[in-house]
Structure 1
Amino acid sequence: MDINDSAGIRALLEQLETSQAWQDTVASSHPNDPPHTVDPSSAPSVAPPLSVAALLSQLQTGSQSEIADIQSDPVATPSHALQSSLSISSVPREVDSQRSLTFQQALPLIASQSANPRFCETLKSMKKEQDVLEMKLSDERKAILSKYEARVQVAKTKASMIGSGISRHEANMLLDAVAKELKQFDVERVLPAWDGLALQQQEALAQVGVPTITDATKRKEQQKIMQVLEGLMV
């Protein structure tokens, strides 16, 4: 099955949710746990951005030294409206036990949550705000490049007035300057925003019942779960 096939993902989740094997597993693992309920009056606390990635790394980070590679920018901090939408209460013992689930065990839980319109809207809101910040950071990077392109043009104009071209020394100075500023932009602007948002979104996803998402030892499971969640965002 294509992991990006939204319809296929939903069908698989529904099958797993209704399987007897999963029902037996849930019954034996949590015999006395109360049901997971929606509580519109209580929104979980979401921490302010701290110093992501790679998403959700992300959970995902890229090279900081390559000027042209701006495909993985950080995501935006969820707004108050998004925080308010994360109003699903959780039982601490149940959340702790979910951290040790495998990917196969986590799928039925995601299936049950995917039937909740608020859960799906929360995912879409997070993705939308991520896209907004990615565009903003991309524009900021382009502005840096444009500034140095203008400086190159000025240098060319001055050189042409005396009948010569830009010297190798001047060209190297410009290249070093733009590389230094882009690296500083990545370290001081991009990475802190991405790191903080990844952590914040992990906590938010855990609050709405996404298992294993905050367990640092479950990187592979997290990546697979994020692929499933991305399919639900379509």
Structure 2
Amino acid sequence: MSGPSLGILRSAGLSPPTPEVPLHLFMDFTNINDPAGVQALLDRLRSSQAWQSIAPPPTATNSNASIPSVNPESPPTASATTVAALLSQLTAPADNAPSTADTASSSVSAFGSSSLPATDLPYPAPAHVQPPIMKEQRDLERRLFDERRDIQRAQQEKVKMAVTKAKMVGSGVTQYEANSMTESFKRQLEKFDLERALSAWDGLVSKQQAELEGLGVPSMFVTTLTTDRETQQKVVRVLTGIAS
């Protein structure tokens, strides 16, 4: 939500195990400046059969108990997922995605405990459902893809230079030199994945969770807990179904 690379950065061949649905829920009638539209969507959500199947039953003392409660004072806990889990969410468009090593054992969607390949939806999301959350995800994916590709290109130049120097002195690149370049390149990619990509994506996840919470979407709040995100993921499926 290790050293593995992003789902969008498939330069090492990583692909998420199972597709999930991203939180691209901002449609025309869920504009923060359109309270009536937001309320209409939430009313439809709460009355839907799908929502009833995931919401806890109401109690006699709280008429709003069908909406999972949020405890803002709950202490944060460490995510049980691996770095690869979150990184694999960032899936680039199929015509641009290079390949990366399949080292991830699990992956986490932006709001769930499984993968979030933005292009691998179980059913097509309506075009009007995608902006601006989907656009934010795409833009971040593209930036991270370009940044990681720059690292790869720099490594290719280093290799070419080493080969050229070796030829000039009538020898070849030694095994030691080759191993050193390989290890250095591996460390660069791991540093990028952990310190740049993971941090950037986690920040976007939190931002989008907060925006959905601000719109009054049930169960939406900033969290890294797998159980909470699984609930959020179910809400997303319900909303996506309503919107379509």
Q: State the structure with bigger RCO (CA 8 A, min sep 6), 1 or 2.
A: 1
Taking structure 1 as the reference length, the TM-score comes to: 0.49
Rg: which structure is higher?
1
